[in-house]
């Protein structure tokens, strides 16, 4: 693989004494789609907000690690320089398009905004570019739709519009935080197809966050599985889905409807117990209280991420050599 576009090393995000993201590392290549999966509260949103340096409050901050993009370390960049990268190098799409669009500004103006403020395009050129972007994200009759307000769009169209807003200044990386969670299944598939098409057309690299392995399976090239603020396993999608090495990954896969087990009529298997909250992390491996393979070592020592069978796993007893 050529040098990655974005390299994250030991990224730590803390709220006061609590580590919400506890030293995660991953790479993102040009045109690659990386899926970030994990249960609710595992720190997916914090991790990607940290990449944009847009954390939800002053108490939450990046407290360690590096985010390497080209020659810059985003974790250490002054705010003014960081701002120049937002929208230009990194675009972001959010879970709830209804609340992330300005209700009193026309869709076209919101798309044109970045182009006018940062690219210095005049009103007319920016508007034309906005219409073009709406067409690229598959909005029919874009010239008319650009004049609409967000409430006049359906949920799926709003998400398309938000993607157009995020792509207006042509970023190389798109961070999509659960972009389809608020949408119904058919619209969800359309949005995922759109993301794939944009990757083809623009060579866009995407960090796609989801708690839904089905979504990840349809789109991603590589997967990173997060648990309690750490990445427990990452590697190529097909490897991980076909033969997970970490017991948590295996549990997640078994919980998917229509994957392993849980046929029609049968209750879906679940992973017993609850994920720990940031204040009360167990000693040793954070998954051990819920892990069927936990041993004395797991209770004492935090497993370090290591390379195994072409991926990186953080487990003392990975599921090697077993047929799932």
Ligand X SMILES: Nc1ncnc2c1ncn2[C@@H]1O[C@H](COP(=O)(O)OP(=O)(O)OP(=O)(O)O)[C@@H](O)[C@H]1O
Which residues sit at the interface with another protein, rule CB under 8 A? 52, 54, 83-88, 91-92, 94, 96, 99-105, 113-114, 117-118, 149, 151-152, 162, 165-166, 168-169
- Judged by beta carbon, residue 44 or residue 158, the one nearer ligand X is 44
The one segment of 38-46, 76-84, 192-200, 241-249 that binds ligand X by CB under 6 A: 38-46
Q: Which does 20 bind (CB under 5 to 8 A by kind): Mg ion, another protein, ligand X, none?
A: ligand X
The one segment of 34-42, 135-143, 237-245, 296-304 that binds ligand X by CB under 6 A: 34-42
Structure tokens at 172: 């190389």
Least distance to ligand X, CB of residue 74, Å: 18
Q: What is the DSSP string of 117-183?
A: HHS---HHHHHHHHHHHHHHTT-SSHHHHTTS-GGGS-HHHHHHHHHHHHHTT--SEEEEESTTTTS
Question: Is residue 46 close enough to count as binding ligand X by CB under 6 A?
Answer: yes
Torsion angles phi and psi, residue 232, rounded to 5 = -90, -25
- Judged by beta carbon, residue 181 or residue 190, the one nearer ligand X is 181
Task: List the one residue from 6, 32, 45, 213 that touches ligand X (CB under 6 A).
Answer: 45
Question: For 42, which DSSP code?
Answer: S
User: Quick one: CA torsion of 146, 148, 152, 157, rounded to 10 degrees?
Assistant: 10
Rounded to 5°, the CA angle 87-59-175 comes to 25
Q: How far is CA 162 from CA 32, 94, 176, in A?
A: 21, 8, 10
Total residues interacting with Mg ion, rule: CB under 5 A: 1
Q: Interface residues for ligand X in 232-251 (CB under 6 A)?
A: none
Q: Which does 41 bind (CB under 5 to 8 A by kind): Mg ion, another protein, ligand X, none?
A: ligand X
Question: Is residue 186 close enough to count as binding ligand X by CB under 6 A?
Answer: no
Nearest residue to Mg ion, scored by beta-carbon proximity: 45
Q: Which residues pair with 234 in a beta bridge?
A: 224, 312
Q: What is the DSSP string of 58-97?
A: TTEEEEEEEEEETTEETTT--HHHHHHHBTTTEEEE-S-H
Question: Is residue 255 close enough to count as binding ligand X by CB under 6 A?
Answer: no
Least distance to ligand X, CB of residue 36, Å: 8
- Judged by beta carbon, residue 15 or residue 128, the one nearer ligand X is 15
Draw the binding track, 130-159, toward ligand X (x: CB under 6 A; -: no contact): ------------------------------
User: What distance in Å separates the CA atoms of residue 287 and residue 318, rounded to the nearest whole number?
Assistant: 13
Picking from 19, 30, 155, 165, the residue whose alpha carbon sits closest to that of residue 95 is 155
Task: List the one residue from 45, 159, 168, 180 that touches Mg ion (CB under 5 A).
Answer: 45
Which residues bind to ligand X, rule: CB under 6 A?
A: 15, 20, 38, 40-46, 56-57, 59-60, 211, 277-278
Which residues bind to Mg ion, rule: CB under 5 A?
A: 45
């Amino acid at each position: 693989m050529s040098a990655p576009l974005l390299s994250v090393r030991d990224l730590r995000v803390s709220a006061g004494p609590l580590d919400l993201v506890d030293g995660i590392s991953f790479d993102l290549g040009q045109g690659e789609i990386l899926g970030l999966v994990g249960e609710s509260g595992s720190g997916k949103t914090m991790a990607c907000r940290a990449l944009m340096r847009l954390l939800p409050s002053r108490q939450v901050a990046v407290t360690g690690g590096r985010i390497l993009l080209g020659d810059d370390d985003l974790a250490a960049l002054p705010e003014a320089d960081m701002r120049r990268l937002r929208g230009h190098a990194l675009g972001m799409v959010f879970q709830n398009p209804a609340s992330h669009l300005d209700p009193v500004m026309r869709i076209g103006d919101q798309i044109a905004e970045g182009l006018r403020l940062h690219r210095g395009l005049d009103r007319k050129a920016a508007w034309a570019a906005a219409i073009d972007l709406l067409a690229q994200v598959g909005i029919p009759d874009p010239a008319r739709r650009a004049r609409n307000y967000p409430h006049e769009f359906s949920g799926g169209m709003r998400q398309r519009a938000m993607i157009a807003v995020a792509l207006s200044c042509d970023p190389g990386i798109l961070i999509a935080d659960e972009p389809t969670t608020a949408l119904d299944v058919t619209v969800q598939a359309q949005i995922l197809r759109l993301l794939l098409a944009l990757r083809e057309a623009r060579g866009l690299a995407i960090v796609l966050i989801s708690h839904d392995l089905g979504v990840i399976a349809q789109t991603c090239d590589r997967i990173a599985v997060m648990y309690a603020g750490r990445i427990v396993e990452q590697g190529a999608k097909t490897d991980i889905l076909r033969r997970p090495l970490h017991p948590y990954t295996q549990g997640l896969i078994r919980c998917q409807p229509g994957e392993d087990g849980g046929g029609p009529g049968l209750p879906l298997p679940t992973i017993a117990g609850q994920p720990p909250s940031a204040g009360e992390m167990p000693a040793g491996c954070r998954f051990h209280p819920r892990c069927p393979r936990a041993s004395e070592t797991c209770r004492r020592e935090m497993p370090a991420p290591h390379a195994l069978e072409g991926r990186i796993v953080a487990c003392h007893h990975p599921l090697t050599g077993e047929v799932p």
